[in-house]
Amino acid sequence: MNKLAALRLYFHHSAKLEPRSVWDRLNARSLADHVLKTAHREGIEQVLVHHVQSGYLAGDKPRVRHMEATHPRLPHCIELVDLESKLRHFWESHGTPLKEVRALFMPCEAASADAS
């Protein structure tokens, strides 16, 4: 369980963190921002926010990024890379408030520079 892995999170571009107070309702943070900052604070080795040009999530219809505006239902993808055990702990600790997020664990193998 201590092999390198990636945890990919898929959700809509407009997804917000579930508000817990009146202030949270007025100043709702994006889900992408929350995941990025929480992962950094938890010491996750690498986090990438992928800018999706087009796509769709399960049960939705295809969306395309427009140069002037982003459709709220355009998919968002965040990829976290670290040891599998650390990523599973992150998901168990922080995955509950992430409603309507599809999470995929993917085993990884680091490329070696001396591979010929």
Q: 25-64, pLDDT tens digit by residue?
A: 677 778 888 899 999 999 999 999 998 888 888 888 888 8
Contact 87, 8 (CB under 8 A): no
Contact 80, 90 (CB under 8 A): yes
Provide the 8-state DSSP code for 89: H
Task: Tell me: pLDDT of 67 over 80.
Answer: no
Instruction: Note the CATH architecture for domain 4-107.
Output: 2-Layer Sandwich (3.30)
Q: What is the pLDDT of residue 1?
A: 59
Q: 70-99, pLDDT tens digit by residue?
A: 777 888 899 999 999 999 999 999 887 777
Contacts of 87 (CB under 8 A, 6+ apart): 5, 6, 7, 44, 80, 105
Q: Please give the Cα distance from 6 to 108 (Å, whole number).
A: 7
Dihedral class, residue 43 (left if φ above 0, else alpha if ψ from -120 to 50, else beta): left
Task: Tell me: pLDDT of 65 over 60.
Answer: yes
Q: What is the pLDDT of residue 13?
A: 82
Task: Tell me: pLDDT of 116 over 70.
Answer: no
